[in-house]
Amino acid sequence: MRAARLHEYTDDMSNGLTVEAVDRPEVTGASDVLVAVEGAGWCQTDNHIIEGMWDDYVTQDLPMTLGHENAGTVVEVGEGVRTVSEGDQVICHPVQTCGTCRPCRQGETMYCENQSFNGLTVDGGFAEYLLTDERSVVALPDGVDPIDIAPHADAGITAYHAVKKAVDDLDPGDTAVVIGVGGLGHIGLQCLDAMSAADIVALDVKESARDLASDLGARHTVDPSSEDVPQVIGDITDGTGARQVLDFVGADSTTALAPDVVAAGGDHHVIGYGGHVHEPTQALVNGEFAFQGNIVGRYTELQELVALVERDAVDLHTSRYDLDEINTVAEKLEHGEIDGRAVITP
């Protein structure tokens, strides 16, 4: 089969991955599920993996096939698989979990002590076939296109995971700020609108992204390149600040907004990453706000997100590319030239 492989870390996205022939994975375990990949979303994390940013955090044996946002059709299953069958269309949670460690038994599957992560620690879905596990596949409802839903396997579930935490502390009339209405942010904004009665303020430097935010439910939009964000948020909230901030950028400039825009006792959720948090501890004590990290989400949250998709509460803006265009996609994303999510169709 053909697969897009990372052989060495590089900052040159034009030659980051090599499309080559590799052996098709085989079903050997009782819970194995082999999926013919129809759609595999490209994520900013893929760029970061190519750059080597994850090498200090996880073990990566190169060469490796990238791609952690995958959906397609089941073509073979292990003898113990009962929940899906050949021919079923599925979306694949990127993490395979053991189910027996303490975090798994507590339902915190993202903290599994024995996990493997497609496209990050094991081969992923930028290929014709993906080997995964019964614990990681969610059957798709009739009428849901695997290509269109594929990015929800990570981008969608990560945004949903953060929003689900945020809405617990949002009452009607509260203000929530969405920073960055891109591939993750436009999903998070829709989840926030569907799951809360908060007033949503969207920040983005691109006019097209702000227009999209308005269409998706934002009550206010702000251009941080030309407007004083703390002043605008202060005016909107009568000086109290935003109860919850969802930062889908995660740059130094966006995390730095927290002391000036987050309400007392609120949270600044960091979902996008690449920057740093450089704030005086006194600022956190004075405002008693918190920075909250987010990574992917539980298997059950992917099921919940699929339910929102089925109800047309969350819509993905996608563009499709062939496997041979994979480095072009990486370059486009690096330069901010992709609106919504890019999907590779192997």
pLDDT in tens, 96-144: 999 999 999 998 988 999 999 999 999 999 999 999 999 999 999 998 9
Q: Give the pLDDT confidence of 191-230 residue by residue, as tens digits.
A: 999 999 999 999 999 999 999 999 999 999 999 999 999 9
Q: Give the pLDDT confidence of 77-104 residue by residue, as tens digits.
A: 999 999 999 999 999 999 999 999 999 9
Q: Please provide the average confidence, as pLDDT, over all residues in the chain.
A: 95
Compute the distance between CA of residue 69 and CA of residue 179 in angstroms, rounded to an integer: 22
Using DSSP, state whether 290 is helix, strand or coil: strand
Compute the distance between CA of residue 18 and CA of residue 166 in angstroms, rounded to an integer: 40
CA-angle at 330, arms to 222 and 18, nearest 5°: 170
* Per-residue pLDDT at 30 exceeds 90: yes
For 157-293, CATH number?
3.40.50.720
Mean of the pLDDT values across residues 250-274? 96
> Which two tokens mark 172?
């009607």
What pLDDT sits at residue 66?
98
* Per-residue pLDDT at 338 exceeds 90: no
* Per-residue pLDDT at 183 exceeds 90: no
Task: Name the residue among 255, 41, 295 with its Cα closest to residue 162.
Answer: 295
What pLDDT sits at residue 336?
83
Q: Where are the domains of the chain?
A: 2-154+296-345, 157-293
What pLDDT sits at residue 186?
93
Q: Picking from 8-22, 118-132, 325-339, which range would have the lowest pLDDT averaged per residue? A: 325-339
Q: Give the pLDDT confidence of 267-318 residue by residue, as tens digits.
A: 999 999 989 999 899 999 999 999 999 989 999 999 999 999 999 999 888 8
What pLDDT sits at residue 94?
96
Class of domain 2-154+296-345: alpha beta
The per-residue DSSP string of 229-270 comes to HHHHHHHHTTTS-EEEEEESS--HHHHTTHHHHEEEEEEEEE
What pLDDT sits at residue 295?
87
User: How much of the chain exceeds pLDDT 90, in percent?
Assistant: 88
Q: How many CA atoms lie within 13 A of 268 on its CB side?
A: 27
What pLDDT sits at residue 139?
96
Q: Identify whether the C-beta of residue 194 lies closer than 8 Å to the C-beta of residue 264.
A: no
Mean of the pLDDT values across residues 179-198? 94
Compute the distance between CA of residue 249 and CA of residue 204 in angstroms, rounded to an integer: 10
Mean of the pLDDT values across residues 24-41? 97
